[in-house]
Structures are given as C-alpha cells and as structure tokens.
Structure 1
Amino acid sequence: MKALTRSANPDVARALANIVWLGLERLTQIAVAIVVSGLLARYLGPDNFGKWQYATTLLLVIAPVTWVCGAEILVPTIIHRTPAETGTVLGSAFVLRIGVSVLALALTWIWIAAGGPDPMVGAMLAGLAVTLLFREPFIGVINSWLQSLTYSKPQLIASMATAIAKAALVYVLVRMAVPPARFGWLWALEAAVIGGALVMYYMRRHGGRLGWHFDRALFRHFASAGTVFWIGLICMYLFLKLDRLMLAHRVSFAELGLYSAAQQLNENWIALALMLSQTIAPAFVYRVQETARLKRNLARLFAMTAALMIAGAAILDALAGFIIARVFGPHYAGAADIFRWAVWLSVPAGIEAIGNLVLLKYQAKYVLLSKWLLALAVAFAVNWFAIPRFEGYGALIGLAAGYVAAAAVNFYYIRFRLNA
C-alpha cells in the first residue's frame, strides 16, 4: 500500500484528497438518506412509501436513457485533448445530452398522462422526472471535466450542501402535511441548484465565460461511439432495479415499501464502491500504461475495496435491527432482516466496480454490453424462480447472482487483456 500513499506523486495526492472528500460526501449522503427516508416512511406509511419507492425506481430506470455519451467516453476524451479544446468537447456533449433529456422527460409525462402507472405513482414521478433536465446535461458534463482533473471537490461540496438543505425542506414539508406528490419537485429543485452551482464554478475557472461550443463532427462521434456503452448502462440500471420492478407485481405496495426501505439504505452504502472507483480511475487505471504497474494497482484496489466492503457490511449487519427501528419506526420491523442480508451485496458490487474500470480503460464496449446483458438475464431468470417462493429474499438472490455473473466477465476480460 506504500505506493498508494506516496504523496510525492501529484496524481496520487489528488486522488487521495478526492477520496477524503468522497468519504465526507458519502457519509453526508448516507446520513441524509437515513433522515429523509425515515421522515417520508413515517409520514407516508408503508403503502404510500412503497409507491414513492416505486416512483423513484421508475425514474432510475428512465434516467440511463439520458446517459448517452457517458463519462466512460467523455473523461478519456477530455484527458487526451488539449485544454483549449475542452469547451468544444463539453459543449458538444451538452447538446447531445440535453436533446435526449428533453425527449425522455416529454415521453415520461405523456406516459403518465395516458394513465400508465398508478395515479399516485405517476403524480410522484412527474416531479421527479424533471431531474432529467439537470443531472446529465449540466451536472454530468461538468463532473466529467472534474473527474478528468481528479478533482471532484466542487461537485461533492455542492452535493453535500444541497442534500442537507433537502433534508431540512423535507422536514418542513412533512410538518406542513403537504400532499405526497409534491415531494418529487423537491428532488428536481435539488438537481437544478447543483447544476447551477457547477456551471458557476466552471465559468469562474474560465474567466467568467462558459465557452462551450458545438462541433458537428464531435457530436456525431459522441452519438455513435457511446451508443454501445449507453445501451450497456441501460441494461446495468435495469439489472439494478429489476428486483423492485418484478417484486411490485408479486407483493403489495406496503410489502414493497418494506423491501425498498432496506434497499434504499443499502444502495447508499453500495454507492460508495461505485464512487470510489470513479474517483480513483484516472490516477490508478486510466493513466497507467505499463501492464505490470496496472496489475499491481488492480490487485491493491481489489484488496482495499473488498476489505472496506466486508468491514462495512459486518457493522451494518450487526446494527440492522437498531438502524431500521430508529429510522423507519415499528411499522417497518420486517425490513431489518432484508437489510441484514442486503448489505453483503456491497462486496460483489465493489469488486465488480473495480474490475469494470479495465473495460472502460480499454473501451471494451461490446464486452461491457455483453456483461450487463448477461447479468440482466441471470437476475431475471433467478428472480422469476425465487421471487414467487421467497419474495424479497428471492429478489436479493437475483441481485447476488447478477453481480457474480458481471464480476466473472470482468475477471475473464482482465486475464485475457493483461496477459495477452
């Protein structure tokens, strides 16, 4: 681990500083998620809370549609272009993403108006879906630029500040007893504020000007080069949310609320592995050209991630009953056992996230697509068998099987690529 902490290396120093800020941001998000989930769960009750969780699940299934030209394409492009070209790279990506986001929002609203989802779910989703206009076109584009600098501090500070403000506003709205559907607009406001703050920061770093330009050739490149990655990410998020989508057709919204309560807390923990991999990728994987050094870095990253996830899961497992009782109250006691099992999914999720960096480094888009198609197919098959028999526990088995399938593809590709 000495090589990971040698501060004389500027890339390492920046990455370690990023990890510190990442840890603070993740702890803040976990704390806010606990507070917000507890407030909403107690206020809405299991049935409406289940509908709220289903609405957020639908949003997270729709959102990947806006991820065309994702960070796996944009970050390496910024790194390998001159600073003078950054405005053109970001501007071309923005035009592509905002166009797709507007279309996705319009189709979502049309589907809601046509009576597609449950009326309450649709009312909640209507506000939540507005986040599509800000997350990828603004936050995602500027965050890719920050990732290329191994400097995510501005985005993390903005995220922490707005998360705390959102928690305070949720408390106020609960005290005011506002209708459940109104809460979705608060999430849209949060995304708009973060996007605005990052745009202002970018302009300050560039002489008060945005300086984004549209380049037709680069636009076409992003639209085509990112298509396979884009479809792969859509498959990935379908896999991650397939448990709730399939479970909703087998259990009541109240039972779905119990399962979702446990999984919402767990997903904030698993997100640590994903954000950890994103923040260290440029310094320890993307910029490393020597195969031997890359192998050493990967071995250390796998070990570090596994140790972190196991330690965290063990603590959360031991405290599951206490956490669920304090956060959600007595009506959600059934979520404790689900949470106790769910937290161990962070181990294969973290290992998969680190292995995935090699696929992104070498732009192995067809391997990425094949991996998530396989994970989705495996999870669907396992869910089809296990959910009718074990309900929420069956959904966890499906997620675990999918993660193992995805990690297996990663390891096969790493062995093939780095030993070739």
Structure 2
Amino acid sequence: MPVLKRFANPDVTRAVANLVWLGLERLTQIGVAIATSGVLARYFGPDVFGKWQYANTLLLVLSPITWVCGAEILVPTIVHRPAAQLGTVLGSAFALRLSVSAVALALTWAGIAAGLTDPVVGAMLAGLAVTMLFREPFVGVINAWLQSMTYSKPQLLTSMTTAIAKALLVWLLVRAAAAPARFGWLWALESAVIGAVLVVYYMRRHGGKLGWRIDRTLFRHFATAGAVFWLGLICMYLFLKLDRLMLERAISFADLGRYSAAQQLNENWITLALMLAQTLAPAFVYRVQDAAQLRHNMWRLTAMTAVLMIAGAFVLDLLAGFIIRRVFGPNFEEAVDIFRWAVWLSVPAGIEAIGNLVVLKYQAKFVLLSKWLLALAVACVVNLLAIPRFGAYGALIGLACGYLAAASVNIYYIRYKLRP
C-alpha cells in the first residue's frame, strides 16, 4: 500500500489538488481565448482583427519587461525566510515590480502618443498595456505567496471566473457595436479585478492588514538576482512573437489577421505540451538525483512527447478546414493552409519544452539565456531571407528553425550534464 500512503501525505495531496486546479484553469483560459478570438474575428473582419492581434503581440513582447524578480527568486525567498518577514519580502518585491511596470506602461503610452504604431493598433494597445500595472505587481506577488504554500486555488479560481466574465463582456460589446479600441480596456479591467480580489484574500488571511514594507537591501537583491533568467525570458517571448513583428512590415493587416488566427489556435495546442512538461517534471525530472535514471527518463519523455505531438498535429492537419471555418468564419479561409503547416511546429516546440526541464532543474541560467538568444538570432536571419520569398510561410520556417536551434542547445546540455 505505498501508493495509498503516498497520497495520504498532506504535501502530496496538496500538490495533486493544486495540479488539478492548474489544469482546469489552463483549459478554461484556452477555451475562452479561442471563443473570444472567434467572436472578435467575425466582428472585426481580417484587417481590424490583424491590428488587434498585432496589438496583443506588442503587449506580449513588452510584458516580460515587468517580470523582474521572477517566481524562481521570490518563491524560495518566501519559503526560506521566517514568517515574520513575509510582509517585507512581498512589499519589496511589489515595490520593484510596480516601479518597473509603471515605467514600461509610461514608455508604451509615450510610443503610442509619438505615433510609432498604427493609430488603431495604438488605441487598442493603450488599454491592453494597463494590464502590466496589475499583473506582476499585484497578481504576480500574491501568486508567489500562494505558490510557496502549494495552494494556487484562489488565484486560479479567480482567473477562471474573470476569464468567463470577460468573454461575456466581449460578446455584449460586440452586440452593442462598440469601437475596436474599447475592447483592450476589458483586459485591463480583468487584471485589475484579479489583483483586487487577491489583495482582499491576502488581507483576510492576515487579520485585515496588508502589512507590506520595503527593505532597501532586499529591493536591490530582487533587482539583481535572477536578472539572467529575466533576460532569457524576454528573449524567449521576443522569439515567440518575432514572426508577427516581422510580418507586419511585409504583409497587409488582413493577411496578418489570418496568419495570427491560425497561430493563435496553434499556440493553444502547443500550450498543452507545456502543461504536459509541467505535469511530468516533479516526478520524473526534479526529484530524480541519479544521472543515469534522469537521462533515461529524459529520452523516454522526449519520445513520448514527440509521438503525442505528431499524432495531435496529424489530427489537427486533417481537421484544419473545419476548425478555422467554425471558429473564425468564411473570411479566414486563407488561414486554413497556414494552420495545417503551423500545427507541425508543436513537434519541435514540445521536444524543446521537455529538454528545458533539465535546464531549469539545474538552474542553468546562462544556458537558458544563450539558448533563446541563439533561437532569436536564427529566427531573425531566416525570417529576413524567407519572408520576402514565401510570405507568412517564411515566418513559419523561421519559427521552426528557431525551435530546432533551442532544442539542439537543450540536447547538448543534457548530454554534457548527464554524460555517463
């Protein structure tokens, strides 16, 4: 009965419950994202939807700037410091993240005011960018506290509820024939509500007081510790959105909207690979100390992920026409072929996600940074050569080459770190 004893352990039970809530939240977010995109695509049409997707791309490139003092730094600090210092730890992290987020938001608005973007894109981005002021300073800090207790249910439940509410508000604005620029403010409202709910929850758990304080030494520590991981994440997200950033200069917004529609569905499918990696990591990677066993587990996980991604890509390839027409409507017919090719990116993306677990296990921050710098450079060069010749398909080639470069670094590191 070792299995029953294992699940009787409160730590294991809490971790399993946390994992279930994480899975539910991810599936809810994926479902809401697809439904919302379908509604907006039909309402906006390809041209305006392309501008909406480009505004979201800019936001996703800018957002990692606010991820200073990530969870890999903050959560261990919370765990290892005495409970009496919790207010100082969270207050210092909050002050750092809020100041960085405020600067990022101000620079974004300044760029919009200076006319660096298309007017419609800028109007959409103006609302979307406000999410930076709430996500990391409020939601991120309190979520780190919840993670330190292996109890993310309050944040995940709030996130699911607000996502569904946001989808309803999107539908109501569409029914009211609202201007495209207004939709971005719904995302800002969502992040503000999540932040407010979590702050209230934290205060209720601490006698109705926030009790956050700033310690200058800790503030400086948070600003420097994890900087390499932070830069690596910035490079990773820039790589993931580089295709749309470079396509915006080469094709029309209508074509960019069709390309983005296909890619959004594909990215939700790739998210499942990341969920799989996060699910398997604790048992098969993080807790394994024997190098030979870990090496064996990695090859098995890689093979299993490759088979799963190939099977899924094959099914999605066959159903591409049905999926695109049902979600986005007849004006996005050109997205069908793009989606058929894009789904096969899940294979190198899934393999990269599994290989990345060893990099994270050993906290190889310079490997992480070098990997995404290489992927970014490779994708940029390939895009410069391929997009003028193949258009949107050239951007897919750039992504594929970038993923292969990143996966190659993972494989090299695994062979080096776990060599017999």
Under a length normalisation based on structure 2, what TM-score does the superposition of the two structures give? 0.91
Moved more, 359-368 or 218-227: 359-368
Correspondence list, 1:12-27, <5 A: 12-27=12-27
CA displacement, residues 216-251 of structure 1 (integer Å, 9 cap, x when unaligned): 222211111222211111111110000001111110
Q: Superposition pairs for residues 6-405 of structure 1, below 5 Å?
A: 7-8=7-8, 12-278=12-278, 285-286=285-286, 289=289, 291=291, 294-295=294-295, 298-299=298-299, 301-302=301-302, 305-405=305-405
* 1:146 alignment partner AA: L
Q: Deviations over 1:283-307 (max 9, x none)?
A: 6655655545655654565455445
* CA offsets 1:305-326 (integer angstroms, 9 cap, x no match): 4454344333322321111101
Moved over 6 A (4+): none
Distance in 1, matches of 2:160 and 2:112, equals: 31
RMSD of equivalent CA atoms: 2.5
Change (3 A) 1:378 1:19: same
CA–CA distance in structure 2, aligned partners of residues 255 and 62 of structure 1:
23
In 2, the alpha carbon distance for the partners of 1:347 and 1:13 equals 32
The answer to whether the 8 A contact 2:23-2:275 is kept is: no
Check 1:283–1:192 CA distance in 2 against 1; reply closer, same or farther (3 A cut): farther
Change (3 A) 1:200 1:361: farther
Q: Match of 1:232, as an amino acid?
A: G
More deviation in 263-272 or 75-84?
Answer: 75-84
Q: Which whole-Å CA distance do the structure 1 matches of 2:415 and 2:147 have between them? A: 27
> In the aligned structure 2, how far is the partner of 1:171 from the partner of 1:33?
13
- Displacement after TM superposition at 1:166 (Å): 0.8
Q: Is the 8 A contact 1:15 1:279 kept in 2?
A: no
Tell me the percent identity. 76
Q: Quick check: 1:11–1:283 contact (8 Å CA) kept in 2? A: no
Do 1:148 and 1:282's aligned partners in 2 also have CA atoms closer than 8 Å?
Answer: no
Amino acid at match of 1:318: L
Deviation at 1:136, TM superposition (A): 1.0
Q: Secondary structure at the match of 1:117?
A: coil
After alignment, is 77-86 or 62-71 more displaced?
A: 77-86
Cα separation, partners in 2 of 1:260 and 1:414, compared to 1, 3 Å: same
Change in Cα spacing, 1:206 to 1:398, as seen in structure 2 (3 Å) is: same
Distance 1:131 1:389 in 2: 37
TM-superposed deviation, 1:278: 4.7
Quickly say closer, same or farther: Cα 1:203–1:372, change in 2 above 3 A. Answer: same
Instruction: Classify the secondary structure of the residue corresponding to 2:69.
Output: coil
Mean Cα deviation higher: 250-259 or 26-35: 26-35
Kindly state the Cα deviation for residue 87 of structure 1 after the two structures are TM-superposed.
Answer: 3.3
Change (3 A) 1:204 1:348: farther
Whole-angstrom distance in 2 between the partners of 1:347 and 1:16: 27
Equivalent AA in structure 2 for residue 273 of structure 1:
A
Structure 1 residue 77: Cα displacement: 3.1
Give the Å deviation of 1:182. Answer: 0.5
Indicate conservation of the 8 Å contact 2:379/2:399, yes or no: yes
Rounded to whole Å, the distance in 2 between the matches of 1:241 and 1:157 is: 28
Determine the C-alpha separation between the residues in 1 that align with 2:351 and 2:141. Answer: 26
Residues 208 and 414 of structure 1: is their aligned pair in 2 closer, same or farther, counting only changes over 3 Å?
farther
Unaligned runs of 5+ in 1: none
C-alpha change, 1:337 and 1:40, in structure 2 (3 Å) is same
Higher mean alpha-carbon deviation, 209-218 vs 224-233, is at 209-218
Change in Cα spacing, 1:398 to 1:79, as seen in structure 2 (3 Å) is: farther
Q: Judging changes above 3 Å, is the alpha-carbon distance between structure 1 residues 20 and 41 closer, same or farther for their aligned structure 2 residues?
A: same
Distance 1:336 1:147, change over 3 A: farther
Q: What CA deviation, in whole Å up to 9, does each residue of 1:64-91 have, x standing for no partner?
A: 1111111232233334444444433322
Counterpart of 2:47, as a letter, is: D
Which amino acid in the other structure matches residue 142 of structure 1?
I
Residue 54 and residue 334 in structure 1: after superposition, are their counterparts in 2 closer, same or farther (change >3 A)? same
Aligned length: 418
State the one-letter code of the partner of 1:317: D
C-alpha distance after superposition, 1:23-58 (max 9, x if no partner): 322222222112111111111111111111111111
Q: Distance in 2 between matches of 1:366 and 1:70?
A: 16
Moved more, 141-150 or 112-121: 141-150
Return closer, same or farther for 1:108/1:137 CA change in 2, 3 Å cut-off.
same
1:338 CA drift (Å): 1.2
